[in-house]
Amino acid sequence: MKSKLKYILRCTLCGKEYEPDPFRLCCDEKHEPSLLRAVYANEKLEVKENLPGLFRYIDWLPVDRYLEADGKPITYQSKNLAHHLGLDHLFISFNGYWPERDAHLSTCSFKELEAFPILARIPEDNPKTLVVASAGNTGRAFATVCSKLKIPFFLVIPEQNLSAIWSKEPFDSCVRMIAVGGNGDYSDAIRIGQIISQLEGFFPEGGAKNVARRDGMGLTVVDATVTIGEIPDHYFQAVGSGTGGISAYEANLRFLADGRFGNKKMKLHLCQNIPFTPMTDAWNAGKREITALSEIEAKKCISQVSAKVLTNRNPAYSISGGVYEALADTDGEMYGVTNDESEKARALFEQLEGIDVSPAAGVATGALIQAVEAGKIAKKDTIVLNITSGGYKRMRQDYPLHYLKPRIFWNRALAVYHKGLPIKRRC
Q: Is residue 423 part of a domain?
A: no
Q: Is residue 246 part of a domain?
A: yes
Q: Is residue 29 part of a domain?
A: no
pLDDT of res. 188: 87
pLDDT tens, residue by residue, 3-61: 589 999 999 999 999 999 999 999 999 999 999 999 999 999 999 999 999 999 999 99
Q: Is residue 426 part of a domain?
A: no
* Residue 239 clears pLDDT 60, i.e. is over it: yes
Mean pLDDT lowest among 96-100, 215-219, 332-336, 403-407 = 403-407
Is there a single domain that holds both residue 299 and residue 371?
yes
Is there a single domain that holds both residue 248 and residue 367?
yes
Q: Is residue 47 part of a domain?
A: no
**Cβ–Cβ < 8 Å for 112, 145:** yes
Q: How many domains does the chain have?
A: 2
C-alpha span between 169 and 141 (Å, rounded): 13
pLDDT tens, residue by residue, 288-337: 999 988 989 999 999 999 999 999 989 999 999 999 999 999 999 999 99
| One-letter amino acid of 308 | K
C-alpha span between 56 and 262 (Å, rounded): 22
Q: What share of the chain has pLDDT > 70, as a percent?
A: 95
Q: Is residue 241 part of a domain?
A: yes
Is there a single domain that holds both residue 217 and residue 352?
yes
Residue 408's φ and ψ, nearest 5 degrees, are -160, 155
Strand pairing report for 129-133 and 103-104? unpaired
pLDDT tens, residue by residue, 150-195: 999 999 999 888 999 999 999 999 999 999 887 788 888 888 999 9
Is there a single domain that holds both residue 227 and residue 278?
yes
Is there a single domain that holds both residue 354 and residue 245?
yes
All residues at 6 or more sequence positions from 293 whose CB lies less than 8 Å from its CB, including other chains: 278, 301, 313
Is there a single domain that holds both residue 405 and residue 294?
no
Look up the CATH number of the domain holding residue 190. 3.40.50.1100
Is there a single domain that holds both residue 143 and residue 290?
no
Is there a single domain that holds both residue 86 and residue 226?
yes
Is there a single domain that holds both residue 248 and residue 391?
yes
C-alpha span between 25 and 266 (Å, rounded): 27
Q: Is residue 12 part of a domain?
A: no
* Residue 425 clears pLDDT 50, i.e. is over it: no
Q: How many CB atoms lie within 10 A of CB 132?
A: 26
How many contiguous H segments (helices) and E segments (strands) does the chain have? Answer: 14, 17
Is there a single domain that holds both residue 349 and residue 252?
yes
Is there a single domain that holds both residue 267 and residue 178?
no
pLDDT tens, residue by residue, 355-366: 999 999 999 999
Is there a single domain that holds both residue 274 and residue 406?
no
Residues comprising the chain, all counted: 427
Range of the domain at 132: 110-209+401-414
pTM (2 d.p.): 0.93
Q: Is residue 425 part of a domain?
A: no
